[in-house]
């Protein structure tokens, strides 16, 4: 496994005040790095970043090329997480296009001039749509069923083009249903697990879209963070795309059952109509490529990850 050490390195994290981004920022600082966060705070929050760590914060959007270019001056590594997520993208495809595609192009164009050692672009398993074969390998033909998946795939393609044409050292990681601390249930754009935890804690019935038998590959945020940092540091990652999941398929009702047991509450579910984003029936990723090339594999199992997330939610609730 690659040693995660950023001592003496300057790192730009776009979207660094978001759920995954803030976890990433803190991990880089703990590993000795000097971090600049670029975030427009559309879904991110300054409160996500530990007040005890040192970092530079720039409020702004990746859609502003001059700002991106300035932020990347003298940077050694770039973790590009800034994006409009799937719910926002579905509601406003134009904003999705400008941020997810245009913002990624801005980062890559700036990299041609500033020449960082490596860029990691965080994509999504949503680009696979409903795959033909499970678990999904990186070479599976994409099926883009949402504006979000279209834009994330377009960002990937720009990364490949800049790697091949301009020799920009870039790596793509495809995240799969990340959950964990700092995924705020109050945020209307957050994932299902934090919403379920809040509802169970409040004695409310859970809203399950469809029959609840749809499956996903749920990945704990610490594992996604460590994999992203390893991709940033390893020359073996240049020009590569990696699935980042667990290789374990879990249904939504499976999540409900584990949360009910861990929280000690009897849970009732209201099965409501599917949303326009609920068009993927099954998803589980093959992670053999990242395991063999970077020696990364997830450390936190689903049950333990859920336990830690519940623990964080309850502690955060007391501090409000």
Q: Which residues are catalytic?
A: 148
Mode of pairing for the β-strands spanning 250-251 and 215-216: antiparallel
CA distances from 269 to 40, 207, 209, 250 (A): 36, 6, 10, 17
CB 212 within 8 A of CB 161: no
For 280, the 3-state DSSP assignment is: coil
C-alpha to C-alpha distance for 185 and 203, rounded to whole angstroms? 15
Contact 86, 175 (CB under 8 A): no
Residues 60-98 as b or e (16 or more Cβ within 10 Å = b): bbbbeeebbbebbeebbbbbbbbbbbbbbbbeebeebbb
The rounded distance, in Å, linking the Cα atoms of 221 and 202 is 24
């Amino acid at each position: 496994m690659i040693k995660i050490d950023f001592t003496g390195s300057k790192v730009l994290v776009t979207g660094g005040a978001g759920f995954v981004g803030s976890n990433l920022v803190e991990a880089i600082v703990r590993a000795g790095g000097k971090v600049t966060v670029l975030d427009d705070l559309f879904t991110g929050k300054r409160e996500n970043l530990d007040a005890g760590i040192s970092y530079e914060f720039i409020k702004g959007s990746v859609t502003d090329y001059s700002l991106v270019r300035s932020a990347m001056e003298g940077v050694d590594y770039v973790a590009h997480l800034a994006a409009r997520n799937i719910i926002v993208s579905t509601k406003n495809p134009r904003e999705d296009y400008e941020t997810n595609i245009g913002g990624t192009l801005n980062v890559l164009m700036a990299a041609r001039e500033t020449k960082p050692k490596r860029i990691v672009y965080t994509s999504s398993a949503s680009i696979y749509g409903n795959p033909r074969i499970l678990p999904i390998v990186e070479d599976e033909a994409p099926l883009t069923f949402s504006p979000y998946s279209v834009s994330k795939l377009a960002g990937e393609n720009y990364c490949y083009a800049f790697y091949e044409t301009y020799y920009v050292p870039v790596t793509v990681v495809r995240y799969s249903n990340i959950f964990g601390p700092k995924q705020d249930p109050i945020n209307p754009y957050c994932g299902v697990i934090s919403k379920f935890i809040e509802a169970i804690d409040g004695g409310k019935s859970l809203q399950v879209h469809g029959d609840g038998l749809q499956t996903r590959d749920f990945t704990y945020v610490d594992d996604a963070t460590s994999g992203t940092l390893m991709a940033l540091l390893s020359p073996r990652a240049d020009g590569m795309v990696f699935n980042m999941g667990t290789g374990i398929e879990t249904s939504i009702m499976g999540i409900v059952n584990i949360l009910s047991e861990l929280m000690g509450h009897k849970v009732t579910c209201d099965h409501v109509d599917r949303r326009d984003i609920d068009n993927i029936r099954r998803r589980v990723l093959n992670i053999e490529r990242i395991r063999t090339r970077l020696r990364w594999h997830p450390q936190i199992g689903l049950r333990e990850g859920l336990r830690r997330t519940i623990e964080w939610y309850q502690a955060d609730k007391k501090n409000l």
